[in-house]
Amino acid sequence: MSPELVLKLSAPVPRYTSYPTAPHFHAGVTAAEYGRWLEAIPDDAALSLYLHIPFCDRLCWFCACHTKQTLKYDPVSTYLDALIAEIGLVGSRLGGKGRVTSVHYGGGSPTMMKPDDMIRVDAALRTAMRFDRQAEISVEIDPNDITPDKYAALAAIGLTRASLGVQDFDPKVQEAINRIQTFDQTREVIDQVRAHGAGSVNVDLLYGLPHQTRDSVEATLRQVLTLKPDRIALFGYAHVPWMKKHQTMIPDKLLPGAVERFAQSNRAASILKADGYQGIGIDHFARAGDSMAIAAREGRLKRNFQGYTVDSPDALIGLGASSIGQLPQGYVQNQAASGEYQKAVNGGALATVRGYALEEDDRLRARVIERLMCDFAFTGKALVDEFGAPAEALLDEARYLIDADPEKLFCRKGDRYFITAKGRPFARSVAASFDAYFGVGEARHSMAV
């Protein structure tokens, strides 16, 4: 592909972990509305939980997560008291309805929690809600936070999947992003979580970081492959200093351009596939026997705020400051400021401050965008069967897009509409063509490659 075309197709677009995307949430969805949505959840609903721990003992300059640095544990302990209060509030609204099929602890750094607090939060969840016997428990782990007693606590809460951020092992890159983490340290953590019951390990890598080259990305990847992770997420660094001020610590001049980013991504993907990993959507890879790889082959792959998932819950319940939930009626998001969040839930109120109530056109476009991001394709019949006449109008849009696409990134064969092999690296850009809100408002996004 020519450099000129890569540059043309690299314009910023959303990552589409929801539709409509979070910048379009608004204050019209209140805590009272969220309470009614929780009360309407059916008795037999499958529930997925996301718990946000917004603290780190160091601030990585590349990070775009909602978190803050603290070297003291008191703020974490106080926050966890509030988190447990919210768990109780949500549980009372559910009234015993639903069953938890998965729990994900994210951050920040969930492994900042002391062992007793890990067990305390887990106990609160299991007291407030019914758990499926086979519920999956996944935790994001910072190798710099982990200690032997924390491995035991992770085993005690039923850890089934561990996710480790590596980003890059090159010391020059690590220094530039303020994330110092050795290969030996990472290997020890993976060995230990497996020994303590984690049946699956995911490793996050980044390309497009300061000082990275194709060769340096390859060097890190080949080290990671010796650890035999079950899944690898290969993300393009999202440089959004207007949103995350600490990213200004990374000078723009040190970042590779769009063409180099594209080349880094391609080389890494080629190495992963040669090593037996199956490509999953735009940025994930998994061993052929992994549940995510199987779901992708069977057309059951999903996408939510945690990225690609095999979860198919009736509701995703977000717990903690800034957490986002997804219910049949729409999306909800908690207060982002941890102090205000704690004030709300400690006062006996849900902390929802904004969200989005879905309309039928939103659901239709959300389905199309999710299938393009997961399968790179959708069929007209499936859309019409699910949505009826409104789907016909969207299919007209799809045919127009195909006719107007000189690069042939998006095509049609019979009833199947699909992103071509040439277009797959730019799936987000194709998906944006079906986004009725894209370009509306002041939302800014990261580069498409």
pTM: 0.94
How confident is the model at residue 6, as a pLDDT? 76
How is residue 237 annotated by DSSP?
P
What is the crossing angle of helices 183-195 and 148-156, to 10°?
40
Residue ranges, the chain, pLDDT below 50: none
SS3 state at 279: strand
pLDDT for the residue 443? 61
Q: Coil, strand, or helix at residue 347?
A: coil
Among positive and negative, which fits the CA dihedral 326, 167, 429, 392? Answer: negative
H/E run at residue 47: strand 46-53
For the chain, the C-alpha Rg in angstroms (whole number) is 21
The owner of tokens 């071509």 is 420
Rounded to whole angstroms, how far apart are CA atoms 116 and 437?
Answer: 45
List the domain boundaries for the chain. 20-357, 360-432
pLDDT of residue 412: 97
Which pLDDT tens digit goes with each residue over 358-381?
Answer: 999 999 999 999 999 999 999 999
- Say if residues 256 and 266 touch (Cβ distance below 8 Å): no
Q: What residues contact 159, with CB distance under 8 A and at least 6 apart?
A: 137, 138, 139, 193, 196, 197, 198
8 A C-beta contact, residue 341 and residue 335: yes
Q: Report pLDDT for 203.
A: 98
CB-based contacts of 352: which residues, under 8 Å, 6+ apart? 29, 30, 31, 33, 34, 332, 333, 334, 335
pLDDT in tens, 311-351: 889 999 999 999 999 999 999 999 999 999 999 999 999 99
What secondary structure, in 3-state letters, does 410-425 show? EEEECCEEEECCCCHH
CATH for 360-432 (1.10.357.10, 3.30.1330.90, 1.10.10.920, 1.10.3720.10): 1.10.10.920
Could you tell me how many helices (H) and strands (E) the chain has, helices first?
15, 19
The CATH class of 20-357 is alpha beta
Contact at 8 Å (CB) between 314 and 49? Answer: no
